[in-house]
């Protein structure tokens, strides 16, 4: 049985309907991608799962229990963590404080130190910047902090919203390698990406979103085969490199 099941999810911002019935599934230990161009509703899907946005229709089930319409803090407690688009680091707080808040849910004093050491191993830069304000970190460093902050809460499912957005190619490589590492460590991951080519190299399955609907779904291989048909999604303009330039 799937860990996360989203059924016929509809969401809107005021009168503007953003999602028109989306169904996705993520099984335990899977790395699944949600792909699509700007504005198709990827972030909206994650925000709805997280309870930040109230769905208009549809159900969201996590570990066999319905979590539709729960508050974000309750959903985090159940074991889902979102690394938001744009990283959303607490800029006035130090790296240490950012990580401490990440550990807020289910905090256990005895494992906290060990968790920090683990994060330092995954992201050595965080050790150097431990006492610095989060807002002073570079974009890539902030992304690592955002991921580390989410991991500190021991989520069962971690959702990453465009972790490579605005990063240099080298930093993008590093983030993608990290995602693979996380999967190998047993994390269940739902990855939102515009950089479909890169994402399809590492994921098990993928959903292709267009206009608030799932257009294609399948294993990475199956989607790649469809890519040539629907090459419109994978033009160079969604490349990380061009992202850099446009900043």
Partner 1 sequence: MIDLEFVINTLSLGSLYALLALGLVLVYGILKLVNFAYGEYIMIAGYAIYLSATLLHAPWYLTLLIAVLAAVLVSYLTELIAFRPVRSQSPNALIVTSFAVSVFLQNVVLIMVSPRARPVQLPFFFSRTIEIAGATVPLRNLLVIAVTAVLLVALSLLMKKTVVGMAMRAAADKFTTTRLMGVPANLVISTAFVISGLLAGVASIFWVSRSASVDPLTGAAPLLIAFIAVVTGGMHSTLGAVVGGFVYGLVFNLLSVTLPASMISYRDAFMFALVVVFLLFRPAGIIKRGYTEERVG
Ligand X SMILES: Nc1ncnc2c1ncn2[C@@H]1O[C@H](COP(=O)(O)OP(=O)(O)OP(=O)(O)O)[C@@H](O)[C@H]1O
- The size of the chain, in residues, is 247
Q: Is 19 exposed, middle or buried (0-12, 13-18, 19+ CB in 10 A)?
A: buried
- H/E element, 119: helix 109-122
Q: How far is the CB of 26 from Mg ion (least distance, A)?
A: 18
Is residue 41 close enough to count as binding ligand X by CB under 6 A? yes
Q: Are 176 and 198 in contact (CB under 8 A)?
A: yes
- The gap between the terminal CA atoms of the chain, to the nearest Å, is 42
Task: Work out which of 22, 24, 35, 43 binds ligand X, going by CB under 6 A.
Answer: 43
173 binds, among Mg ion, partner 1, ligand X, none (CB under 5 to 8 A by kind): none
Q: Which residue is nearest to Mg ion (CB)?
A: 43
Is residue 153 close enough to count as binding ligand X by CB under 6 A? no
Is residue 85 close enough to count as binding Mg ion by CB under 5 A? yes
Q: How far is the CB of 184 from ligand X (least distance, A)?
A: 27
Q: How far is the CB of 214 from ligand X (least distance, A)?
A: 13
Please state, as a whole number, how many other Cβ atoms lie within 10 Å of the Cβ of residue 223.
Answer: 23
| Whole-number Å distance between alpha carbons of 229 and 215 | 12
Is residue 42 close enough to count as binding ligand X by CB under 6 A? yes
Is residue 44 close enough to count as binding ligand X by CB under 6 A? yes
4-13/57-62 β-pairing: antiparallel
Task: Work out which of 40, 199, 200, 227 binds ligand X, going by CB under 6 A.
Answer: 40
Instruction: Name which of 176 and 227 has its Cβ closer to partner 1.
Output: 176
Is residue 48 close enough to count as binding Mg ion by CB under 5 A? no
Instruction: Count residues binding Mg ion (CB under 5 A).
Output: 3
Residues pairing with 12 in the sheet:
17
Q: How far is the CB of 194 from ligand X (least distance, A)?
A: 5
Is residue 194 close enough to count as binding ligand X by CB under 6 A? yes
**Which of 217, 161, 193, 162 has its CA nearest to residue 35?**
193
213-219/57-62 β-pairing: unpaired
Structure tokens at 154: 């021991």
Is residue 43 close enough to count as binding Mg ion by CB under 5 A? yes
Q: How far is the CB of 85 from partner 1 (least distance, A)?
A: 7
Instruction: Name which of 114 and 136 has its Cβ closer to partner 1.
Output: 136
Is residue 231 close enough to count as binding ligand X by CB under 6 A? no
**Which of 245, 153, 233 has its CA nearest to residue 193?**
233
Chain residues binding ligand X by CB under 6 A are: 13, 16, 18, 36, 38-44, 85, 194
């Amino acid at each position: 049985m799937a860990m996360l099941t989203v059924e016929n999810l509809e969401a809107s911002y005021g009168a503007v309907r953003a999602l028109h019935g989306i169904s996705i599934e993520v099984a335990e230990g899977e790395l699944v991608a949600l792909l699509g161009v700007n504005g198709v509703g990827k972030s909206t899907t994650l925000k709805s799962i997280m309870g930040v946005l109230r769905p208009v229709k549809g159900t969201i089930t996590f570990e066999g229990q319905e979590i539709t319409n729960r508050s974000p803090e309750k959903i985090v407690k159940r074991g889902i963590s979102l690394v938001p688009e744009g990283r959303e680091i607490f800029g006035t707080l130090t790296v240490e404080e950012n990580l401490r808040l990440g550990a807020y849910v289910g905090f256990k004093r005895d494992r906290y130190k060990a968790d920090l050491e683990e994060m330092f191993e995954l992201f050595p830069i965080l050790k150097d910047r431990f006492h610095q304000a989060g807002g002073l970190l570079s974009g890539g460093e902030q992304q690592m902090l955002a991921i580390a902050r989410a991991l500190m809460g021991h989520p069962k499912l971690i959702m990453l919203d465009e972790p490579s957005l605005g990063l240099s190619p080298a930093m993008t490589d590093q983030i993608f390698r990290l995602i693979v590492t996380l999967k190998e460590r047993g994390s269940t991951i739902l990855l939102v990406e515009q950089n479909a080519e890169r994402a399809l190299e590492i994921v098990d399955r993928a959903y292709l979103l267009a206009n608030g609907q799932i257009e294609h779904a399948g294993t990475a291989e199956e989607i790649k085969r469809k890519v040539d048909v629907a090459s419109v999604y994978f033009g160079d303009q969604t490349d990380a490199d061009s992202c850099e330039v446009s900043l």
